[in-house]
Structures are given as structure tokens and as C-alpha cells.
Amino acid sequence: MRGKRWWIGLSVLCGMALGGHARLSEAQVIKAGPASCPAVALTYDLCPVRTASGFDHELIDYLLEHRVPATFFMSGRWMTKHDAEVKKLLAVPFFEIGTHGEVHAHLPMQEVEAQQREIMGPVRFLKKKYGRPATLFRPPYGEYNDQTVDAVKALGLQFILWNIESGDPDPTLTAEAIVTRVQKRMKPGSVIVLHANGKGKHTREVTETLAATLLPAKGLTPMTVSDLLRCTQPTTAPTP
């Protein structure tokens, strides 16, 4: 397929992109915020599920109780089955909502028009049913090609990936292993991908360790993706 560069998914549910050949338009794919910002973005994908609850109530309760900013990327299929949960997330001022494709399709396998439909489906749904705009897009499985990047730009959305894959849907990973994985890669401006659809057995535990222990120890704070991208504060050494 000429002109396409594949980004292969690795995670159990919403695969994580590995990398590939660079091209100019890929500068539009955002993987992290400014390295000068003493913050990270905790992001949670809400992919469709068949064997999980579809919504990690314990995780959300922790974020709410401790007022931890977070960004959620919701698929259209997930939203149609979780109306109450969508309303709950939209009502929180320190939560941000992005979209994650209509049916969680493999975008590089589709033609441009089909990609545009997959991308815009949940954006239109959010606007029509909930009166809320969505400007952040994360591709299902972290997969994309040149046409995906061009389609996202043409639709006026920001293309958001990550630079830290937590691996939280992997049932073989312990909470300690996930924390270690994230800690080794975490730095100012990082975007961390986790899951809030119930597939992450230890997601709530990992989130608590990050927010209550690791981030403060490194002098970092959690922000939404948009706030992270706007952040211009200089980094500061953590308080002893």
C-alpha cells in the first residue's frame, strides 16, 4: 500500500504504537508536552469492551476525591453504552474529554473517507447528544498512517498519542511492574496512557502511586493534555 506507514499496536486492548519512518506531517502527532513544564498528563482510554465492566469506578472515584486532573479518550461505541458515565465525566471541571474513534477500528486498513467517518463519529455524537465539543483525538490501537494524520488535520483536531505506555491492560503485569515501567520513562512533559474501561486490573492502584508519591517526589504535577500543551512554566527541583 504505497504511501502508508504502519504503526503496530502492542497493548492487550488498545495497542501501543512502536514507531516508524518520519515524515513532515508527523510533526502534527503530539506525543508529549514541553520538556520545560513540571507536569505530566494522565490520560485514560475508554475503548469498547466485551469482558470487563466498561468503567473503572474505583479509579474515577479516586481521581474525583483527590481532584486529580485527567484526560479521557472515549470511543463512540463506548459512549453509546455508557450514557451515565459520559455525563459524570463531562460534569467534572478538572477532567478533559477527547475521542478515540467510532468503533475502535484499525485506521491504516481503511481508505481516507472511512477514516474520516471513524474519526468524526464520536465528535459529532458528543456535540449532538451532550452539547460538548471535542478537539483531541487519539487513534485506536495507536495505529495511523499518512492519511490518518492528514485527515485529523483537515478535521481540525489535535492528534494526541503518548510517550509512556503503561501496559496496564496486560493481565500479567503487577502494579509494581507497571509503576516501575512508568517511573523509568517519566519526565517533565510526559503523556502517560492508561485505561479507564475496567481492563486495567491495577490502574487505580498505579494511578494512586503516581499521583500521591512518584509525581510529588519528582516535582511534577498532573495536568490535562490541553493544559500541559499550554504550559510554559520552567521546571523546578522537587522539594526535599
Domain residue spans of the chain: 24-158+201-230
Model pLDDT, residue 51: 79
Residue 185 has pLDDT above 80, yes or no: yes
Q: How does pLDDT run across 146-181, given as a tens digit for each residue?
A: 999 999 999 999 999 999 999 999 999 999 999 999
pLDDT for 234: 54
pLDDT for 25 equals: 55
Instruction: Tell me what the mean pLDDT of segment 129-134 comes to.
Output: 96
Q: What is the pLDDT of residues 39-85, one digit of tens each?
A: 999 999 999 988 778 999 999 999 999 999 999 999 999 999 999 99
For the chain, percent of residues with pLDDT exceeding 90: 82
pLDDT at residue 27 in the model: 65
Q: What is the pLDDT of residue 235?
A: 45
Query: What's the pLDDT score for residue 37?
Result: 96
**DSSP secondary structure string, 125-148?**
HHHHHH-----EE--GGG---HHH
CB under 8 Å to 155, separation ≥6 — which residues? Answer: 116, 119, 120, 123, 137
pLDDT tens-digit readout, 204-234:
999 999 999 999 999 999 999 999 999 976 5
The predicted pLDDT at position 50 comes to 85
Q: What is the pLDDT of residue 26?
A: 59
- Average pLDDT of the chain to the nearest whole number: 88
Residue 52: per-residue pLDDT: 78
Give the residue from 78, 46, 39 showing the smallest Cα distance to 60. 46
Tell me which of 96 and 51 has the higher pLDDT: 96
Kindly write down the DSSP assignment for every residue of 207-235, as one continuous string.
HHHIIIIIHHHTT-EEE-HHHHHH--PPP
CATH fold group of domain 24-158+201-230: TIM Barrel (3.20.20)
Assess contact for 195 and 226: CB atoms under 8 A.
Answer: no
**pLDDT at position 118 over 90:** yes
Residue 35 has pLDDT above 70, yes or no: yes
